[in-house]
Amino acid sequence: MSTSPLVPGDRFSAFDREAFRLEVLGEHGSDWPEEYRTGSWSRVVMAARRAGKRMYRVHVLTRPLSACVEADLEWGLIRHVKAGEEYHVLDVTEQENPVRGVPDFWLFDDETVAAPRYGEDGRYLGVGFPDAGEAARFRAYRDAAMARAVPFEEWWATYGT
C-alpha cells in the first residue's frame, strides 16, 4: 500500500461516476482534514452532484452515541446531505457488524481505494492507497454495508434527538 500524508483531494474531482465512503471509526479527533472542518466538503459534494456524480456513504454506529458523534450528525451531516451526499447508517447496536475489522475507506468508481489513517486518539494521519488488485475486496465491504444500512433520515427519525 502506498501512503500519503494528504487527503485524497484530487480524487474527488477526478472520479467519473461515484465515490463511496465507509466510515467505521466511531469518533475522529479534532484534527479533521481541512475540507471537512471548514465546510468546503459541501462544495466538493455539490460540484460532484452538478457533474452528475454520486457521492454516498455508510456510517457504522453503535448506540448510545457519544456527544461528539451526535453533534457531528446534527451539525455537519445535515449540511452534507443538503449538498447532495447520500448518507446511510449501519446501526450495529442490536445486529452483527458485517464489516467488523474493516478500516475507513473511500472507493472511487469501484476501482480506486483510498484508506484514511487515524492515530489511536482519532487524529487524522493521512491516507493509504491499497493496490489496485484489492478493489474487489473493498467493493464486497461496500456491498455488505449497504445491504444492512438504512437511509440516515429513517434512522434519525427513530434514534435521533
Which pTM value belongs to this model? 0.86
Q: What type of residue sits at position 152?
A: F
For residue 58, count other CB atoms closer than 10 A to its CB. 26
Question: What average pLDDT does this structure show over 116-132?
Answer: 84
pLDDT of residue 33 exceeding 70, the answer is no
Listed range (12-21, 72-81, 100-109, 143-152) with the worst mean pLDDT: 72-81
Task: Taking residues 103-112, report their average pLDDT.
Answer: 94
DSSP state letter for 131: -
The pLDDT-based confidence of 9 (bands split at 50, 70, 90) is low
Give the CATH superfamily of 2-159: Endonuclease Chain A (3.30.870.10)
Question: Angle 113-116-120 (CA atoms, 0-180°, nearest 5)?
Answer: 145
> Is residue 149's pLDDT more than 50?
yes
Q: What pLDDT was estimated at residue 92?
A: 97
Q: How many CB atoms lie within 10 A of CB 54?
A: 14
Extents of the domains making up the chain: 2-159
